[in-house]
Amino acid sequence: MSDPERLPTSERRALDDMSYREQLAYVLERSTFYRRKLAGSHTGGGLEAIAGLPLTEKAELKATTTADNPFGAHLCVDPSELVRIYSTSGTTGAPSYIPLTAGDLDNWVTGSARSYAASGIATGDRVLTTYNAGPFVAGAALDAFERIGITHIPVGTGTSERLLLAIEQLRPDAVVLTPSYADYLLELADLRGSSVGRVLVAGEPGGGEPAFRAKLEEGWGARVTEAMGIGDVGPSLWGECEEQAGMHLGAAGFVHVELTDPDTGEARELEDGANGELVLTHLRHRAAPLLRFRTRDHVQIWTSPCRCGRTTPRVRCLGRTDDMLIVRGVNVFPSAVREVVGGFAPDVSGRVLVRPRTAGVKQEPPLPVAVELARGTAAGAALADAIRAQLRAALVVQTEVELVAWGSLQRSEYKSRLVDR
Ligand SMILES: [Zn+2]
């Protein structure tokens, strides 16, 4: 079979269209949830008509769970066919369960393996990972490392000393961690001379922001690439190649990609450079397939050819829609605030915390932002003024910048909190 990552776009689209038609028919036959949801919609077409179908929200799925069916009414198979059940962490309330058939799991591992292999890691490489997968879908990404054929060194989090010792003694070629943790480790050790040549970051936005990436690459003396997935649809669906021009769709053939206006839900053209909320549709899923699922990830997309030869679309995550604030009509992503502030290194540590005055998305200016100073740097009014001016110029937002001492904002071995609600 030809390589789905390098197929001409039109050929891949034709294959995806066929898969989609089968997936839609399958869902209409087996999913109570979608039979009900799509009643009254035109379900006759292929991918060209997909924007006519309603979007799926996570909360809707959750609302159909019962004591007898904890998965939700979108479950399409007999529970005896399930080989694995993951949970999503769920920022609010109880977890959601993600059931998989053997085929679903195999497709997940295939897609994740492509996403991570895009970074350049290959058979013979030693790769140290820090996922405490537990109940979460990242566990399937761990299977992907085995599929690629690398020597896997699982370390997990919670033991930075052990991790640093493993880097020293086992000399891995690559490490896999969140960008926050990659950043934090640089405070604990000088890693420029380590064996690590590739830092693979995932789990939160940030690894693709130029100033933040430059800081990590400089500190590690290594190339930084990122990967991204969404628990309900698949782990590490996307992975960046060595050209570092955005994350390629590793899950090509398994997932269909759309962009929408996050406010109106209207579909946007997948043009080179376009941005919007990422909406994903399973193409070959069996246990609990999702159609037009709102990921709440706000991304920029590129469809132009990549020098690596892959023809799959590439994305960069601009932020989570859930983290977004609207200050006098302007959308502000906390990760974008961090990126602008990062430009003031070496005076700042790069850590920020946005502290909205009121609950909810809409905020009145000025928006309070705590900016952590670099180690040994004293606060100066001129620096705060300069940061405020740059935030206004770059993001069109009025802020109130408070400089805080080095070490006063939280460090994380997992994800950083950028907003204090
Ligand atoms: Zn590429």
Contact 252, 4 (CB under 8 A): yes
Q: Report the pLDDT averaged over residues 292-304.
A: 96
Q: Residue 238 Cα, ligand 1 centroid: separation in angstroms?
A: 11
Q: Residue 52 Cα, ligand 1 centroid: separation in angstroms?
A: 31
Identify the weakest region by mean pLDDT among 54-58, 133-137, 146-150, 304-308: 133-137
pLDDT interval class at 231 (50, 70, 90): confident
DSSP string covering 340-365? HHHTTTTTEEEEEEE--SSSSSEEPS
Q: Report the pLDDT averaged over residues 383-412.
A: 93
Q: Residue 152 Cα, ligand 1 centroid: separation in angstroms?
A: 24
Q: Residue 248 Cα, ligand 1 centroid: separation in angstroms?
A: 7
- Residues lining ion ligand 1 (Cβ < 5 A) are 241, 243, 306, 308, 310
Q: Residue 313 Cα, ligand 1 centroid: separation in angstroms?
A: 9
Contact 268, 261 (CB under 8 A): yes
* Residue of 313, 162, 160 lying closest to 228 (CA atoms): 313
Q: Residue 191 Cα, ligand 1 centroid: separation in angstroms?
A: 27
Q: Residue 226 Cα, ligand 1 centroid: separation in angstroms?
A: 12
Q: Residue 272 Cα, ligand 1 centroid: separation in angstroms?
A: 14
Q: Residue 389 Cα, ligand 1 centroid: separation in angstroms?
A: 36
Q: Residue 242 Cα, ligand 1 centroid: separation in angstroms?
A: 7
Which pLDDT tens digit goes with each residue over 303-331?
999 999 999 999 999 888 878 899 988 88
Which pLDDT tens digit goes with each residue over 206-228?
899 898 999 999 999 999 999 99
Q: Residue 98 Cα, ligand 1 centroid: separation in angstroms?
A: 30
Q: Residue 350 Cα, ligand 1 centroid: separation in angstroms?
A: 28
Q: Residue 308 Cα, ligand 1 centroid: separation in angstroms?
A: 4
Q: Residue 315 Cα, ligand 1 centroid: separation in angstroms?
A: 11
Query: Looking at residue 195, what is its pLDDT?
Result: 98
pLDDT interval class at 294 (50, 70, 90): very high
Q: Residue 246 Cα, ligand 1 centroid: separation in angstroms?
A: 8
Q: Residue 119 Cα, ligand 1 centroid: separation in angstroms?
A: 9
What percentage of the chain reaches a pLDDT higher than 70?
99
Query: Looking at residue 364, what is its pLDDT?
Result: 93
Q: Give yes or no for residue 410 having a pLDDT over 90.
A: no
* Range list of H helices, 229-348: 334-342
Query: Looking at residue 380, what is its pLDDT?
Result: 84
The contacts of residue 347 (CB under 8 Å, 6+ apart) are 373, 374, 377, 383
Which pLDDT tens digit goes with each residue over 238-267?
999 999 999 999 999 999 999 999 889 999
Q: Tell me what the pLDDT averaged over the chain comes to.
A: 93
Q: Residue 3 Cα, ligand 1 centroid: separation in angstroms?
A: 14
pTM over 0.85, yes/no: yes
